[in-house]
Chains A and B, each alone.
Chain A
Amino acid sequence: MVKISRREGRAAQLIEHHDFQSLFDVLKAKKYRLIGPTVRDGSVVYDEVARVDDLPVGYSDEQEKGSYRLNKSDDHRLFGYGVGPHSWKKFLFPPAVRLWQARRDDGSFQIIPEDYHAEPLALIGVRACELNAIAIQDRVFLDGEYRDPIYAAQREKLFVLAVNCGQAGNTCFCASMHAGPRVTGQFDLAVTEVINGESHYFTVEVGSPRGEEVLSEVPHRPASGEEKALANQIITQTAASMKRSIDTRGIKQRLYASFEHPQWDDIAARCLACGNCTQVCPTCFCSTVEDVTDLSGNTADRWRKWDSCFTTDFSYIVGGSIRSSVKSRYRQWMTHKLATWIEQFGTSGCVGCGRCITWCPVGIDITEEIAALRAEKQPATAVEAAKEDVSYADV
C-alpha cells in the first residue's frame, strides 16, 4: 500500500548475538540516544535502552482482542514479541507539546517561540508496519503546504534499526495491508534474528550510508547462503502464519456505499468511545490546541495535545458537535482510516499492526467489522435511516 523505494543494499551481513551490544555502543558513541522496546507494567513499551539486556530478552507476547499478556521463556531472543501499546509516533508527534508562550509587560505583549530542538535518536527494533506508519505520517506532517516543524526536526535526527518480524501476533494483519512483515526500505540497518540450534545471530541489511558506517564499526561478517536462507524462511513463515486480514479490494467504494449499514449500530452498542484505538494507532495524527493562562494573566501558553475523533469536542463547531453519536464517530474513524485517507494522502491509513484490536478495552476488531460490513446484510431502509441522529452533515 505504501510505496517505499527499495535501496540496493550490498550482500547480507551477519552480526553474532554476542556482538549485538557493540552495535548499541557504536550508536551511543555517535551521540544517539537509544530508544527501544523494554518491559514496563506488563507490556513492551518504547523507552530509553542502554544495553541489550534492557530489551525484553526472552519475552513473547500473547495478543487477542482486548487482551495482551507477556510470557518469559528461557531463550535469549531479543525480538521475540510483536508491537506493544506504544508506537514511535510519541517521539515524532509528542502527546503534549508547548507551541509558544506569550508574556505581557507594560501594556504590550511578546511572543516567545518554542525551540523545537530535537536530539539524535536511534530507534531500535522498528517493525515493517511501523516503518510504513512513519512513512504515512511523513505524508501527513511533511508533505504539502503545511510542514510540521516539530515532526520535521525529529524526523531528520533518526537512526532506524529495523527488525523483520520472526513471529506474527494474533492481532497482526500487516501482510494483507502490504505493510509487512518484511521491511523494504526507509531504514539504516535492518536485522533478522535467527536462533538455529546453538547459533544465535542477526542477518543484517544495510539501507543507508549511515547504516554502512555504523556497521563497519561493529564486528560482522558476510552471511552464508544458508544463513540468509534461514532468515528469509523465518519472514516467509511469519507472513504465512498471520491469522487476520483485511480484504482491501474495492474497500473505498465499499465503505462509501456502507454509510447506512446496520453494522454501525451494532458496533456503537459495544464501542466505549474512549479513544484508545486512535491513541495507540501509529498513524492517527489528530491534535487539539489549548491556551492556558496563569493566575496573573501575564503569561499564556499554547499547547498541542493528542486528540481523538471519538471525543465530543473533536467535531464541535458553532451550535454543537457534528458527530453526536458514537456510531457516527466510529464510522468516521474507520472510513477515514481505510477509505478517505487514500484520497487525502494517496495511501491507506492502516498498516495492519493490530494495536487497535489488542488495546480496545472491549476488543472491537477492525478486521471483523470490515468483514461484517462486506457481508450481505440488508442496509437500513431510507425511513429507518432518517430516524437516526444522522444529519446531512454527519459524514
Chain B
Amino acid sequence: MQRKNKPTLAVWKFASCDGCQLSLLDCEDELLAIIDRIDIAYFPEATRTVLKGPYDVSLVEGSITTQHDAERIHRVRRASKVLITIGACATAGGIQALRNFADVKQLVPMVYASPKYIETLNKSTPISDHVFVDFELRGCPINKGQLLEVLSAYLHGRKPNTSRYSVCMECKRNGTPCVMVAQGTPCLGPVTQAGCGAICPLFQRGCYGCFGPAEVANTRALSEQWKALGKTPQDVMRAFRTYNAYAEAFRKESDIHGA
C-alpha cells in the first residue's frame, strides 16, 4: 500500500564496519513493513536510488576520524530533521578510538606502507561531539529489536523503550545464573547498559561491554572485584578498552589501570 507523505529515511556511514547498517537489512521479516511506512531515500548499502534531502530521519553509523568527515557530519545534520546515531562507533568513538590512547603519528607508519597518503585526525570521536544528536542507540552491533523499537517509536511519536540500566537485569529475567558469582568469570555486565538481551552470559561468557556504560557505572567497585577474581590491572584496563573505550566511564576506569 502506497501511503502519502511517508517519512523519508537516510542511512549514513562514517568510520565503522557497516555492521549496524546491516542490522537494518537483517530485519528481513520486518523490511516490508518498514518500507510500507518509510521511504528509504538514501541508503547506499542497500540501494543505488538516491532521493534528495532533506530527510525526516537519519541513522548515522560510525565515528569521526577525518577532517573530511568532521565537515560532512554537519551537512548530514543540516539535511536531517531527526538524527539518530547507531552503534558504539557513532555513540562512543568505537574500537578505532583506541588510537585516542596513543599518538596517531607513531601508529600510522606501523600500519601503512606509505604513511604520506594518510590524512587522519588524532582522535576518533562520537557524532555527539560534533553535532546535536536526537537519540543514541547503543551496541556493537546494535540490537535489531531495539532498532525496530526506535523506528516504531519515531513513527508513532512515542518514547522508545530502551533501558539504561545494567545487563544484570536482562540476565535475571532470562534466568541466567550470574557468571561472576557462580563461575568466577569476570563480567562487565553490572556496569554495562542492557539492550543486547544478555547474550554472552547466556553462553557462560562474561559481558564484553558492547553497549557501553550503564546509567550508573560503578567501575571502581567492579574493577576491585575483578582483581579479587585474579585479574591484573592490565587485564582490567584491556577489558574497558574495547568497543566503548572512549565512553567516559570506561575511559576513566581504564586510565586508572593503564600503563
Q: Which residues of A contact B (CB under 8 A)?
A: 40-43, 45, 66-70, 84-86, 90, 95-96, 269-276, 279-280, 290-297, 305-306, 308, 310-313, 326, 358-363
Contact = CB atoms under 8 A, between A and B. Distances in A.
A274 B33 contact: no
Contacts of B181: 66-68, 85, 358-361
10 contacts: A272-B166, A272-B190, A275-B169, A276-B168, A279-B168, A296-B37, A297-B156, A306-B172, A311-B165, A361-B187
Contacts of A361: 168, 178, 180-181, 187, 189-190, 222, 225
A289 B210 CA distance: 26
Contacts of A311: 163-165, 169, 215
A371 B44 CA distance: 63
Nearest to A308: B169
Given A291-B158, A311-B163, A361-B180, 20 more contacts: A40-B177, A41-B176, A45-B175, A68-B178, A68-B182, A95-B172, A95-B175, A269-B221, A270-B218, A271-B221, A272-B190, A274-B214, A290-B161, A292-B152, A293-B158, A311-B215, A361-B222, A361-B225, A362-B222, A362-B225
Given A292-B152, A361-B187, A306 B173 contact: yes
Interface in B184-206: 184, 187, 189-191, 204
A290 B158 CA distance: 12
Nearest to A312: B215
B234 interface: no
B79 interface: no
Nearest to A324: B216
A334 B161 CA distance: 28
B224 A312 contact: no
A66 B225 contact: yes
Contacts of A308: 165, 169
B182 A271 contact: no
Interface residues of B, number: 47
Nearest to A275: B169
Contacts of A358: 181
B69 interface: no
B172 A280 contact: yes
A295 B30 contact: yes
A306 B163 CA distance: 13
A295 B33 contact: yes
A276 B33 contact: no
B222 A312 contact: no
A291 B224 CA distance: 38
B108 interface: no
A273 B218 contact: yes
A43 B177 contact: yes
B86 to A, nearest CB: 17
Nearest to A329: B216
A294 B149 CA distance: 8
B169 A296 contact: no
B151 interface: yes
Contacts of B189: 274, 361
Contacts of B218: 269-273, 326
B34 interface: yes
A312 B169 CA distance: 13
B183 A42 contact: yes
A226 to B, nearest CB: 39
Contacts of A43: 177, 182
Contacts of B173: 95-96, 279, 305-306
B134 interface: no
B155 interface: yes
A36 to B, nearest CB: 15
